[in-house]
Chains A and B, each alone.
Chain A
């Protein structure tokens, strides 16, 4: 059956692979998609927030069809120390709109649905198939793949590598470097089930309204990291992630961190009495713009997490994956429609189109952020959260101390912890990286 030749082979049925396969199949290309999981999604882990705009570009009717959890009407940021959190919450009735902008989803379920759209569009999707190697011709061009399913090679004009953050194939073939401990984070996550009404009461929601909490501070014990709590319909996704280099350096355990986060007095009441139904872990690309590898070559392109296309500051990844997958597919279609070969020169149009999109523009904006966070993690994730919490407590506690003295004490604690040069330096570095 596989003796035939394909216009394109897509490795991986995650967000990027599905976007690419769908786009090419819709344009009439003959597409084979290979996925190692039992079904698409069975290997994939995400928070997960879905950004509607990028999904709409692929499946305009997704709101009616896809398994969505809650549309987000509120975003909370928490800066935590061991016993407190300082929060910034944004909630708006404007988000209860006809076509909401963000949803929580459950990846294993969502990917399965997304894949059904890929099949409907005419692509051949083979699951339970691990691609083991890229096939090359005598001129070293990529001409197909080998899998663990059958002997021999499957050939195509172009291979789309949508293999996720671990990206074994591309690194083994020397197309890009293996991720390093300081450009990937390890996140661990649990699914906590509770009755719908309980979730709505605890998070102040009605109907399908949703809320997400992003948390940082002493929960990461001085490592570069973040925690998250996302409300789904009948469960809460809760997790925490830190840079792999930090885990390696400190000897902290990921499950120890997760448990401490769950026991935090601000978190524990939200999940009290829940039934945990899954424990998962996954890497997240964190290197930003400077870690983006070569994106195309002779007979191949790379999309999504495999290309480190992830905006760690805004916690966006799936939308960059979907967009890069779609743009790569459009570029391939363009080359094909001109009747030209899938050479590196011709495929470079993919990078040009991607450079013009929000994907590369956003990553470029924050290019200096990852190194700043990584080298100053003690200050940004431990010292400041503690200081800010202390300042807030000093501000709200009414104990007869004159306000002027309170302010002085707060200022003194900041200068003592970081010195004036330290404070100005941090503010300057932060502002520069944000620009």
Chain B
């Protein structure tokens, strides 16, 4: 029986989060779904005759930085090109893209696979503009150009991936890097990243180029991985039953979990690229590249290694902290205050804070608890002002109200009772209320002490310092033995 090997390449489109569009000064606004159509447009991004594009420098810089982060060569001369196709979401009848001379090419991204790390080669990284949006109503379509002209970065890989899992790992890692670079918000639900996968299968050992299926418009990691897995399975079935796979453009039906042949002429393959006459070439000097390299933030892999070495954290908590740049920054700010150990902070953040963020559906930069506020709370637990359980309740209150720990402790009277006189009084009351249990204890059933301890904690609404209660309770019981 023949064994088959999938061959998969990816094209990733990600919006670049600049303040203004790629070739005009219209603001780039977040697509919240309820934006009024055509309220962020101008003559340039709606392709009025006589208008001219001007390149947004920041978009170029972020693309070069992405190229550097993906270990690419940055081309000394780069150029924009017109990619012609006719679809009403494209007002000019062509998209300004790059062809032949992209900003960056020949890089790689290393991913973890079940067979160890593997390099996925990057063919090129280039810059282009997004299209508008169409709404189909009966036999007409409505066009909204708010998104038209938003800068898009396109990352094209070589066909180096061999399974749906590898494709997913690549996409997840790429998203992480784009978020770290500040290129993209990573907010997949808002459509800021889109994938196209090209999938073929061939007999293991062969390096023949097989006809591929290109699956368009995959907007989530889940859809991407499912569509690729489905295609691999279908193509192997076709080949095993003696059929042939033909080159095709496919869509993905997420509800039914199947790919389907796209019959639209939307994706004509002859784009008649030619150099954009309205945009002079870009000369990217070594100095410019080096100054951008210096602006690169620490990338996720380097940060992971450092978190393990510098803070002594394990793989699992490191992964949880580093996956989101805002969380990793929060953690490091908190560690930097020098009052709480990294390990303790990691526990609080990946435990209670993550749970509360999830419950309130907020990111770490959206909750009203600052790193200083969290450290202050943990110190109060460590110093014994409040016990651990109370501390966790206070954190919940802090997330809900934005109040400081000190204020909540005062308002609710949560401070741990470490006043010996007060505790002795409470213990005596509890012992008086439960003479039977006291008798049992004095009769040798010492485990009853635990139950009595629970009664004391209950009487103090959990605020008593447990170590102190334990020793004072033993003292009080022994005093009763002597008094008999």
A and B are interacting partners: no
